[in-house]
Structure 1
Amino acid sequence: MDIAQTTAPEIAPTGQATALLLTGRLLRPQSLTLDALRAFPSVTCAPFDLRCYTTQRFIRSVEPYRGVRLTDLIEHAGLRCEVHGEFKRMIFLAIGHDGYAVPFTWHELFNTSVGAQAIVVYECGGKPLTEADGAPVLFSGADLVPAPRHVKRLARIDVRAMTI
């Protein structure tokens, strides 16, 4: 993935359509527009074939995606830890507008190659995606099969701490 150098935005201005909420155990919960997502440093993934996880049938070829790393969004919002080492028990639940949800763990995102390839997408094939196109899209490029954690119309990332 290539990194473009830009600065991280602040929370979306009032009056603009919110594309993504970051909620839960955060120091600074976020309400971001597609334009705000585009202001973060960007990464690009290679084209890939999207296949159904259950049937393994081909769904479609996907041109290169451009977006922001999920880890960059989380770091920008800051994790709220109430006890020492609590961040290691955090999960990040990505929830689509249709209720489809997929989890990531802190270790997976910040301690493996998955974090470098989990992106919130706002562009495909060099063209901006709109909400009608399914933006923003969550894509986990390190997964063996990309379809299970490919979330169109991503609505929210909810941060939770697992209890023991």
Structure 2
Amino acid sequence: MFRIWLTVFLSVVLASAVAQEVLKPTSSISISGRVKSPKTVSFEELKKFKLYNLGDVVITNHKGDVKGTAKDLTGVLLKDFLQGVELDAENPKVLSEYYFTCIASDGYKVIYSWNELFNTSIGNSVYILTSKDNQPLEKLDENIVMIATQDIRTGRRYVKNLQSIIVRRAE
């Protein structure tokens, strides 16, 4: 009986280990979907935007448990980054129907609405990081990271290895 339980236990552990995806480092962000011109922005191009010193941000999970602290952060506002992207919208009135799906290299997705980013104070707290712990992110495992510093549960929208942003319109 012990052998059966041991076999089942090891099978579950092995299956869990295989099922976890390894985060693939990213060096650029592609922007596509409802845009006039899809484009890709490299990590180096990202550093040309206005940089903000964010200090330290406590990272919590969905229950509010502290998982760690991201220290000495520097980043670019997501809305500043998106300002250079011309949306395929027939008039400004329909912008309220647009949203951005931000996708990590492992498939993790976070969504922001156009209004959330450009019409509320939340837009002033969503960043694409350029450095962490006084180290450029391209030298760290997480590479391009997006964070919402004012979220109550900061880990929900902490996107490691951001690789693409797809612009869509709600139907």
TM-score by length of 2: 0.79
CA contact (8 A) 1:131 1:153 kept: no
Residue in 2 that maps onto 1:42: 51
Q: Mean Cα displacement is larger for which, 105-114 or 76-85?
A: 76-85
| Cα gap change, 1:49 to 1:90, in 2 (>3 Å) | same
Separation of aligned partners in 1, 2:87 and 2:120: 18
Residues 36-115 of structure 1 correspond to what in structure 2 (within 5 A)? 36-54=45-63, 56-83=64-91, 85-115=93-123
Among 21, 29, 38, the alignment partner of 1:29 is 38
CA displacement, residues 37-88 of structure 1 (integer Å, 9 cap, x when unaligned) = 111111221302112114x332211103212111112111122203552211
TM-score by length of 1: 0.82
CA displacement, residues 7-62 of structure 1 (integer Å, 9 cap, x when unaligned) = xxxxxxxxxx85111111122322111101111111221302112114x3322111
The structure with the larger Rg is 2
Residue in 1 that maps onto 2:138: 130
Separation of aligned partners in 2, 1:84 and 1:120: 25
CA contact (8 A) 2:145 2:162 kept: yes
Separation of aligned partners in 1, 2:50 and 2:36: 21
Q: Any unmatched runs of 5+ in structure 2?
A: 1-25
Separation of aligned partners in 1, 2:46 and 2:70: 20
- Note the C-alpha offset of 1:126: 2.3
Residue in 1 that maps onto 2:29: 20
Residue in 1 that maps onto 2:148: 140
The share of aligned pairs that are identical, in percent, is 25
**Relative to total residues, which structure has the larger helix share, 1 or 2?**
2
The amino acid that maps onto 2:170 is: M
C-alpha root-mean-square deviation of aligned residues, in Å? 1.7
DSSP 3-state at the match of 2:115: helix
CA contact (8 A) 1:18 1:31 kept: no
Separation of aligned partners in 1, 2:164 and 2:33: 10
DSSP 3-state at the match of 2:143: coil
DSSP 3-state at the match of 1:60: strand
